[in-house]
Amino acid sequence: MEVKNKYIVIKHQIKDAPKVSNLEVKTGTIVLSLASGSDDIIIKNLRYAINFDTFIAIDGVVVGKVVASGNAKFKKDDLVLGVFTCAEYSLIKEESILRKLESVTIPIYGTEVLGFNGLSAYAGFFELCKPQKGEKVFVSTASGAVGNLAGQYAKLLGCYVVGCAGSQRKVRYFPDGIDIYFDNVGGEMLEAAVASMRIFGRVAVCGVISEYTGGGKKASPNMLEIVYKRINIRGFLAADFLNVFEDFFAKTLDYLRTGKLEVIEDISLGVESIPSASVGLFKGENIGKKIINLAEE
Amino acid sequence: MEVKNKYIVIKHQIKDAPKVSNLEVKTGTIVLSLASGSDDIIIKNLRYAINFDTFIAIDGVVVGKVVASGNAKFKKDDLVLGVFTCAEYSLIKEESILRKLESVTIPIYGTEVLGFNGLSAYAGFFELCKPQKGEKVFVSTASGAVGNLAGQYAKLLGCYVVGCAGSQRKVRYFPDGIDIYFDNVGGEMLEAAVASMRIFGRVAVCGVISEYTGGGKKASPNMLEIVYKRINIRGFLAADFLNVFEDFFAKTLDYLRTGKLEVIEDISLGVESIPSASVGLFKGENIGKKIINLAEE
């Protein structure tokens, strides 16, 4: 059976600010059955998670359902999670990019939390910052996909947490100073956080939204304070912390199952909504993870 | 026996740039013998090491010779090392600030290397940066008291080392990028180093000479590069690394005894030279550690 298949391509590389016209929705066709002997897997995609690098590489975290499988590890109707190009249907030739969701008893809407967004928040907070209960934690873009999780992890540990979404005035909520800053924005917010930091303060630099589009002021943190307060500023990528993935996954799954961790998502419908949703991410329009629902389960 | 005793005081707190007139040489008197039952120690100071915080706290690393001692741990003519106010003679009431040099067979001119300058270089390089043989190391103010030691430690480990004293052009000597930057200056040099850094690069921020006097441009390192290259920027004070002091001391003493580590000093004579030598430090006039010789051994 051949069906139409909408998918997204990068039409123009971005210069300066990303625009809707950088991405294009195309329509192709896909056959939903496999030739005899094939070990491919065909997925009907249910949802797609928008990332900041959508404009550079269109791959994202996709949750889908197996339509047909020549691979013994996957069978029809299995729910799977993987990182690949967004489309209504995907033909997967490399089984290693898929993870089965059969053992996950939470609703699929929480799956991104168990992926790189969650790992970013988990590794940045726990592995880089080595937090202690009672420490003062500041999170920028606390309503974003990673920031909201970092804030929730910090609360679950028993930290005093202040999040902000747009204004460095929130730093003033820390009369005694900040121990940990989970930084997603850079710029003046980073300067304000460093200025408010206590000795041995730690900054996990997860993102630099203020600089993604080239317009924002660059951060000039006070280096003298960095020396005297022995501040540690460290950039990181979640991919460097696959060694703690199992710990992260088990703990976070438990938090999700017991309702201790809240999943915050911002949902749009259909492949057609990807270009505007991707641009919206840079404008801070989303509250929680930006998700595209592609089909009902 | 009472003798005259020249000493240094802070006359005016510094504003903006430090000036010779911020410090004042005074002359008092001191009795060179102790009352019966006293456990004080009187030191004739031989040399004084100038630090960047001379204008804030006049204490420095002093090497001296015991003139009289009521303390059983020290006897007349012992060579001692301590951190206290610079003067020709000092009356010490707290034995814990003194360290005996009797077991040290190197010339006393190397003693600052075995103090906080050495520990700064050692801890900043080895403990913060976790260097590997063959890595590319950049040191700013490489002719300074700490920088020259950091560079020497890096060479002894088998790193490729480039030092600079004043110009960020030296960063271009690293076509393949820098693994470790031992930063003493901040400002544009730090920006240049971050821009040239390889992934998992480490910056040990030991000092920020460009900002000490308020005039220099503040560093705006590229935070996007800090994320993508997972750069770690960490301020530190040697005092936080007393746990490695014994290791540092034993290794460095061995390097000094075997001539592998070169002691680089810049010497002026007499208490009167302290104000101008202290100002000169901020102008980068010294090559190696700035030392004031107070008396011959």
Best mutation site among A53, A233, A236, A241 for testing chain B: the one with the most B CBs within 10 Å?
A: A233
Nearest CA in chain A to B222: A218
Q: Specify the pLDDT at position A112.
A: 73
Alpha carbon A121 to its chain's center? 9
A44-77 pLDDT, tens digit each: 999 888 877 777 777 777 889 999 999 999 999 9
Asked if residue B17 has pLDDT above 70, the reply is yes
CA distance B138 to B179: 8
Length of chain B measured in residues: 297
Select the highest-mean-pLDDT range: A230-239, B83-92, B102-111: A230-239
Residue A218 with chain B: CB contacts under 8 Å:
220, 222-223
Q: Give how far B174 is from chain A: nearest CA, Å.
A: 22
Residue of B231, B236, B187 whose CA lies nearest to A228 = B236
Residue B259: strand, helix, or coil: coil
Residue B222 with chain A: CB contacts under 8 Å:
211, 218
| Mean predicted lDDT score pLDDT of chain B | 87
**Cβ separation B223–A232 shorter than 8 A:** no
Four-way CATH pick for A116-239: 3.40.50.300, 3.40.50.10800, 2.40.30.10, 3.40.50.720: 3.40.50.720
Q: Specify the pLDDT at position A145.
A: 86
Residue of B110, B113, B151, B114 whose CA lies nearest to B129 = B151
Q: Specify the pLDDT at position B110.
A: 64
**Is the minimum CB–CB distance between A1 and chain B shorter than 8 Å?**
no
Contact status, residue B7 vs residue B85, Cβ threshold 8 Å:
yes
Residue of A206, A122, A114 whose CA lies nearest to A156 = A122
Residue A286 to residues A51, A103, A139, A278, A282: CA-CA distances in angstroms? Answer: 12, 30, 16, 10, 9
**CATH H superfamily, domain B116-240:** NAD(P)-binding Rossmann-like Domain (3.40.50.720)
Q: Give how far B233 is from chain A: nearest CA, Å.
A: 5
CA distance A163 to A288: 13
**Cβ separation B205–A218 shorter than 8 A:** no
Asked if residue B206 has pLDDT above 80, the reply is yes
Beta-carbon contacts of residue A247 (< 8 Å; ≥ 6 apart): none
Contact status, residue B212 vs residue B170, Cβ threshold 8 Å:
no
Asked if residue A103 has pLDDT above 70, the reply is no
Residue A56 with chain B: CB contacts under 8 Å:
none
Asked if residue B167 has pLDDT above 60, the reply is no
CA distance A42 to A231: 49
Residue B212 with chain A: CB contacts under 8 Å:
224
**Is the minimum CB–CB distance between A214 and chain B shorter than 8 Å?**
no
Q: Specify the pLDDT at position A32.
A: 95
Q: Specify the pLDDT at position A133.
A: 96
Contact status, residue B151 vs residue B139, Cβ threshold 8 Å:
yes
CA distance A63 to A75: 15
**Is the minimum CB–CB distance between B212 and chain A shorter than 8 Å?**
yes
Residue A211 with chain B: CB contacts under 8 Å:
222-224
Q: Specify the pLDDT at position A167.
A: 57
Asked if residue A12 has pLDDT above 90, the reply is no
Give one DSSP letter per residue of B57-126, joined into a string.
--EEEEEEEEEEE-STT--TT-EEEEEEE-BSEEEE--GGGEEE-TT--S-GGGGGGGTHHHHHHHIIII
Q: What is the pLDDT averaged over residues B81-94?
A: 88
Instruction: Please state, for a pLDDT cut of 70, what percent of chain A lies above it.
Output: 93
A138-196 pLDDT, tens digit each: 998 888 889 999 999 999 999 999 888 765 566 667 878 999 999 988 888 899 999 99
Select the highest-mean-pLDDT range: B130-139, B174-183, B214-223: B130-139
Helix (H) or strand (E) holding B154: helix B147-157
Q: Give how far B232 is from chain A: nearest CA, Å.
A: 4
Residue of B274, B280, B154 whose CA lies nearest to B209 = B280
Asked if residue B37 has pLDDT above 80, the reply is yes
**DSSP-derived secondary structure letter, A127:** I
CA distance A199 to B236: 10
Chain A, 167-196: which have a CB under 8 Å from a chain B CB? Answer: 186, 190
**Cβ separation B237–A222 shorter than 8 A:** no
Q: Where do the structural domains in chain B lie, given as residue ranges? A: 2-103+264-293, 116-240
Residue B144 to residues A188, A208, B3, B182: CA-CA distances in angstroms? Answer: 32, 34, 35, 12
Nearest to A208 among B208, B227, B231 (CB): B227
Q: Please tell me the least confidently modeled range out of A131-140, A280-289, B210-219.
A: B210-219
* Top-confidence residue, B59 or A135: A135
Residue B147: strand, helix, or coil: helix
Q: Specify the pLDDT at position A106.
A: 53
Residue of B47, B37, B54 whose CA lies nearest to B292 = B47
Q: Specify the pLDDT at position A253.
A: 86
CA distance A135 to B31: 52
Asked if residue A4 has pLDDT above 80, the reply is yes
Interface ipTM: 0.74
Contact status, residue B229 vs residue B199, Cβ threshold 8 Å:
yes
**Cβ separation B233–A228 shorter than 8 A:** no
Q: What CATH class does A2-103+264-293 carry?
A: alpha beta
> Residue A186: phi, psi to the nearest 5?
70, -150
Q: What is the pLDDT averaged over residues B173-185?
A: 89
Sign of CA dihedral B173, B177, B182, B184: positive
Query: Rounded to 10 degrees, what is the CA torsion of A130, A131, A132, A137?
Result: 160
Q: What is the pLDDT averaged over residues A199-213?
A: 87
